[in-house]
Structure 1
């Protein structure tokens, strides 16, 4: 593939062994004659990457070796605003480095950071994140103050989660995917031809703020009746509580209770979830028509209701796409709510191991 001679390859491998990036596993068992070949592998402790994830509920941090194995992990409830999150970043990185006591900072090959919101074209600044109240937050500069000379990669959280599923999760080996996360908010990531598609100014996939309900609730973005006001857990809980009061049934205290009672077949919740199902079908059908992904990956509360997902899949299969869309193409996320954390780290691993000359 490289057009290099065996002698040159051997010399380069020897250099990688000296750098402790590659290690020998021993001789291969062969039936042929001549010198036996020696098996090699990436030395998992030859370097490390750090993943940082800002979520709607938690800030997570993890250190992974070059095999993608997690050796230290940290989680805390996330705060809001530039200064508070900056402090949490420092705390998370410090904790993980202490937990991974055998890891020298010189072996950290990169730090991947995922966050909701809009990221600038340089991949350094969170221009705006409404939910986390971030504004012009230079993540790279902040991390570089404590960890100079370490590459920092900033990526949208949904794009990071989509990449994690593509790289080693539910969509491994699939080149075109749409990833949707639906919990307290809505996010989506798009992979086209094995590459994250961020769109102009990084705003591709902001599907949650498309108005679908003219007489609905006011959204956090200021508009009325956005998809987010129909599908996300806080809005569903609010509507369910109002409906319970009207129907004189026990008022649910949390969204988990709403979902449990819907799953058990309480009839009074069906009008609410019928609307949720209709808008979910609309959203998935729109994504299917615009992007035509091989699979659509769902992360969030919907995976906790086989009853609901069955209805959505049946509706999608019956939708008049130009070509049939089998319901098997809608699959749950394999990493759950840790997708953006693993995605941030594996993006750095990919950057380390990528060899564009071979593409």
Structure 2
């Protein structure tokens, strides 16, 4: 019971930032004596610190505010993306104090070696970092993770197969907690915990770039589904005569909404219509925003399929908010049309367009989510004993 109460206090301080003993007593419903005893122990262990009096009107003794001591330890976050591997050292406030970024490798062995290099480079940036101050390592990666959170069973983009990621990292960091998670789930958690979806219990997170990923928060918990395969919304077929998807099927949502397929389609049509051929996807978006009408049919289809995807997911999950990360946030014209179309969709409960929000962490959501999940696990674990 003491460990549960301690974890509850630490998680409250971590999420809320600053609280007084009286506020902790009121929120937790523990006795003032219990809260005081636990706080003194946490201060002694260097996990919590007093930061001065909290402002209050009137006379009388003012309460002392408390917060997590950011120097009480560190977590390491590692994020595998489609283009880069990023490694970061963060303090107990989740603030990044060192970062190393490199172009991502492909395959089990090359990525394993790259992890070693990234960890070494990142840790060397932090002066006098002792091993006992590293409280945990959180890793996010595309693909399907086994139910134990140790093995990347499959990642098509990174060509990973049965890669025991936890075992590999544990060889260099024995006895340190390690958490492996899907990148979209990690990013969804970052937005839920301290981003655009803070204080929401049911969230759909969509990332739309070179591929499509989605993360689900249901009743304030990550929902990974059977064998971690939930959220593969990008591989729902919507165009029987469309392009062949990376998964091998034809006409998946990914073949309509992701940047490589859109660029290819726009280049083909530009050639047919004898207009200047766009060389980059950014050029396509800029020219659509600029009003080049030859792009309208392509983006009308993009808008229709995006609306279909969001409406389908909403009917299944009924989220409070839908968070979007990726290229669509660079196209206000398209995003406004999507919001209008979703709002007009005949849901059983009215959907207001302000429930569709941009990701506050951008493309770093998976990195911060992995670290934040690790922090939450640390603050609930026996490592504090």
Q: TM-score range by the shorter chain?
A: over 0.9
Q: Deviation digits for residues 86-122 of structure 1, max 9, x if unmatched? A: 1111111111111112322211111110011100000
1 CA distance for matches of 2:323 and 2:261?
A: 22
2 CA distance for matches of 1:313 and 1:28?
A: 42
Matched, 1:145 2:171: yes
Indicate the residue corresponding to 1:203 in structure 2: 229
Matched, 1:352 2:344: no
Paired residues, number: 354
Q: Structure 1 residues 27 and 268, CA, compared in 2 at 3 Å: closer, same or farther?
A: closer
Q: 1:188 aligns with which of 214, 219, 229?
A: 214
1 CA distance for matches of 2:354 and 2:205?
A: 15
Matched, 1:299 2:325: yes
Structure 1 residue 10: Cα displacement: 4.0
Indicate the residue corresponding to 1:113 in structure 2: 139
Matched, 1:70 2:96: yes
Structure 1 residue 36: Cα displacement: 6.8
Indicate the residue corresponding to 2:3 in structure 1: none
Matched, 1:314 2:346: no
Q: Structure 1 residues 213 and 107, CA, compared in 2 at 3 Å: closer, same or farther?
A: same
Structure 1 residue 350: Cα displacement: 1.3
Q: Match of 2:71, SS?
A: coil
Indicate the residue corresponding to 2:116 in structure 1: 90
Over the residues paired in the alignment, what is the CA RMSD in angstroms?
1.8
Q: 2:313 aligns with which of 287, 292, 295?
A: 287
2 CA distance for matches of 1:60 and 1:251?
A: 34
Structure 1 residue 351: Cα displacement: 1.3
Indicate the residue corresponding to 1:333 in structure 2: 359
Q: Structure 1 residues 178 and 29, CA, compared in 2 at 3 Å: closer, same or farther?
A: closer
Matched, 1:272 2:276: no
When normalised by structure 1's length, the TM-score is 0.94
Structure 1 residue 13: Cα displacement: 2.9
1 CA distance for matches of 2:238 and 2:94?
A: 41
Q: 1:254 aligns with which of 268, 280, 289?
A: 280
Greater shift, 53-62 or 234-243, is seen at: 53-62
Q: Superposition pairs for residues 38-77 of structure 1, below 5 Å?
A: 38-77=64-103
Greater shift, 156-165 or 270-279, is seen at: 270-279
2 CA distance for matches of 1:250 and 1:38?
A: 65
Matched, 1:178 2:204: yes
Q: Deviation digits for residues 126-150 of structure 1, max 9, x if unmatched? A: 0000000000001100000101111
2 CA distance for matches of 1:9 and 1:246?
A: 72
When normalised by structure 2's length, the TM-score is 0.88
Indicate the residue corresponding to 2:241 in structure 1: 215
Is there any run of 5+ residues in structure 2 with no aligned partner, and where? Answer: 1-27
1 CA distance for matches of 2:356 and 2:305?
A: 16
Greater shift, 138-147 or 18-27, is seen at: 18-27
1 CA distance for matches of 2:251 and 2:64?
A: 63
